[in-house]
């Protein structure tokens, strides 16, 4: 229910609005209360509104519309509201209609509480308001039980600054000139309802409820229909969701079966791949073994050939040693023969000299000289021959030692070559074994992963 209460100042709009809030549970949006709170809190809008209120003028449309727009955005105004004191002129009414249409809450009814001028003056002059809760009293028609004390909260009752006779008269003139044209504005929209406001509070309230109850019932029916539509929509959406979920289930089952088929095919293909890899690995192992055996044969052949070479070299060196020894023995024999021949010559010469001594003693001295000379020459010859033979022995020994050194070096080089070849063959064996073990590990890992 979205309504506006219209009426002159003092017609009882605020009082009736509070009773309607209690009955229907929708908020009252009183521009007067909103402005008084803004003035009390000294907000920027409240300061501007205070100046106009104290001068007895209406607050500007821009200020009031800003305050109402903020209030309508609160959650309690979503299902309905009661506007009290606004709009007061046609431009405000047009601006309000535009705003409510934009938020999809158009105005449904306007209710005019009609009171004559004398009653208005009497009500306004005797009106008192609680400073704490905003409860309104009138010292003439509805006074509080205790003077200037609120019956609801015990707060102090005050008279508003604009409730004196001069201000009241000015406000009523403004109402008649600006606010009364609203009645014809809302009549054209078939929204205006007039209620007699000259009776007491309860009489006026009963008249209001007789008008508003049908509106509330129709709105409740509309709300029930909308709820039914929403329920039907939710049911249709749930059915559609169920169908979609069923289709999704079927599709998921198909996907699962397709995935299982794909997985089975993958298993078969992986098994085939594993078998093929095993065959390849077996072939590689056989090839590797063949390579290893071939390398071993080559290495054994190389060892045999190396041994043969070493044996041949040993034979050659032995033959050389035998030849050198034969040469040395031959040379020694020659030297010995030379010594024997020299000794024989010396002995023969001695015999000749002795014979000459016996035959001719005279010639002894001469012969002795000759013999001595011969001995000296013979000794010189023997010494020279000994030197030559010694030099030859030294030379032959040097040759033998150099030959031995060369043979020893050859043996060492041959042994080094054999050792190097052994090392190379050993390294090749180790590399081949590592390759074979690495391939075995790779095959084992692939088996474990599968």
Q: Render pLDDT for 393-430 as a digit per residue (tens, 0 to 9).
A: 756 677 757 777 767 788 867 788 877 788 878 888 88
Q: Residues 386, 389, 390, 391: is their CA dihedral positive or negative?
A: positive
CA 53, 56, 61, 65 torsion: positive or negative?
positive
Q: Verify that 228 and 273 share a domain, yes or no.
A: no
Indicate if the pLDDT at residue 139 is higher than 50.
yes
**With b meaning 16 or more CB within 10 Å and e meaning fewer, what string describes 130-166?**
beeebbbbbeeebebeeeeebeeeebebeeeebbeee
Catalytic-residue membership of 171: yes
Pair 2, 81: CB distance under 8 Å: yes
Q: Are residues 217 and 332 in the same domain?
A: no
Share of the chain above pLDDT 70, in %: 79
Q: Establish if 290 belongs to a structural domain.
A: yes
Which CATH number does the domain housing residue 102 bear?
3.40.50.300
Does residue 436 fall inside a structural domain?
A: yes
Residue 88 annotated as catalytic: yes
Question: Considering the domain boundaries, does residue 84 fall inside one?
Answer: yes
Output the pLDDT for position 294: 64
Give 355's pLDDT tier (boundaries 50, 70, 90).
low
Q: What is the pLDDT of residues 342-352, one digit of tens each?
A: 566 655 666 64
Indicate if 297 and 431 belong to the same structural domain: yes
- Counting the structural domains of the chain, the total is 2
Catalytic residue among 36, 50, 109, 127: 127
Tell whether 222 and 325 lie within a shared domain.
no
278 annotated active-site: no
Tokens found for residue 175: 């109402």
Shared-domain flag, residues 193 and 56:
yes
- Longest alpha-carbon distance in the chain: 218
Question: Active-site residue among 19, 23, 71, 160?
Answer: 160
Q: Establish whether 122 is a catalytic residue.
A: no
Domain holding 297, by residue range, is 265-449
d(CA 322, CA 229): 131
Q: How far apart are CA 279 and CA 32, in angstroms?
A: 98
Domain boundary among 216, 234, 252: 234
Indicate whether 215 and 275 sit together in one domain.
Answer: no
pLDDT at 63 over 70: yes
Q: Given a cut of 70, is residue 280 above it in pLDDT?
A: no
**pLDDT of the residue at 151:** 94
**Least confident residue range of 4-8, 187-191, 274-278:** 274-278
> Cα(64)–Cα(66) distance, rounded to whole angstroms?
5
Q: In this structure, what DSSP letter does residue 236 have?
A: H
Q: Which of 36, 50, 109, 171 is catalytic?
A: 171
Is 127 tagged catalytic?
yes
**Token match 């009171």: residue?**
115
Query: Is 117 found in the same domain as 71?
Result: yes
User: Which one from 88, 109, 123, 128 is the annotated catalytic residue?
Assistant: 88
């Amino acid at each position: 229910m979205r309504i506006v209460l219209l009426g002159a100042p003092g017609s009882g709009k605020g009082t009736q609005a509070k009773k309607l809030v209690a009955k229907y549970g929708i908020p009252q949006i009183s521009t007067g209360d909103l402005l008084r709170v803004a003035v009390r809190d000294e907000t920027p809008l409240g300061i501007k509104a205070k100046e106009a209120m104290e001068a007895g003028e209406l607050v500007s449309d821009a200020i009031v519309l800003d305050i109402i727009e903020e209030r309508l955005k609160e959650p309690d105004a979503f299902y309905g509201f009661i506007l009290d004191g606004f709009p007061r002129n046609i431009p405000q009414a047009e601006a309000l209609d535009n705003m409510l249409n934009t938020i999809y809450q158009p105005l449904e009814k306007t209710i005019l509480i009609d009171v004559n001028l004398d009653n208005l003056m009497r009500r306004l002059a005797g009106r008192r308001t609680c400073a704490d809760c905003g409860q309104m009293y009138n010292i003439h028609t509805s006074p509080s039980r205790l003077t200037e004390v609120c019956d609801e909260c015990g707060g102090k009752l005050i008279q508003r600054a604009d409730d004196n006779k001069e201000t009241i008269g000015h406000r009523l003139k403004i109402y008649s000139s600006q606010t009364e044209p609203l009645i014809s504005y809302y009549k054209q929209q078939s929204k205006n309802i007039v209620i007699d406001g000259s009776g007491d509070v309860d009489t006026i309230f009963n008249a209001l409820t007789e008008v508003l109850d049908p509106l509330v019932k129709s709105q409740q029916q509309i709300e029930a229909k909308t709820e039914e539509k929403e329920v039907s929509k939710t049911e249709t959406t749930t059915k559609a969701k169920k169908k979609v979920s069923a289709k999704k289930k079927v599709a998921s089952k198909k996907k699962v079966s397709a995935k299982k088929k794909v997985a089975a095919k993958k298993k078969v293909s992986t098994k085939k791949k594993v078998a093929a890899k095993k065959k390849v690995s077996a072939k590689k192992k056989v090839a590797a073994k063949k390579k290893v055996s071939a390398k071993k044969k080559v290495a054994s052949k190389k060892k045999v050939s190396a041994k043969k070479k070493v044996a041949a070299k040993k034979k050659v060196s032995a033959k050389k040693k035998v030849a050198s020894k034969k040469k040395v023995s031959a040379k020694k024999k020659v030297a010995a023969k030379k010594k024997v021949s020299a000794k024989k010559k010396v002995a023969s010469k001695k015999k000749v000299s002795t014979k000459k001594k016996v035959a001719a003693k005279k010639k002894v001295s001469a012969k002795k000289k000759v013999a001595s000379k011969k001995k000296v020459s013979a000794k010189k010859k023997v010494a020279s021959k000994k030197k030559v033979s010694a030099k030859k022995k030294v030379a032959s020994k040097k040759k033998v030692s150099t030959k031995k050194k060369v043979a020893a070096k050859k043996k060492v080089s041959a042994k080094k070559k054999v050792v190097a070849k052994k090392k190379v063959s050993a390294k090749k064996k180790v590399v081949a074994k590592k390759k074979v073990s690495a391939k075995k590990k790779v095959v084992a890992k692939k088996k474990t992963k599968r």
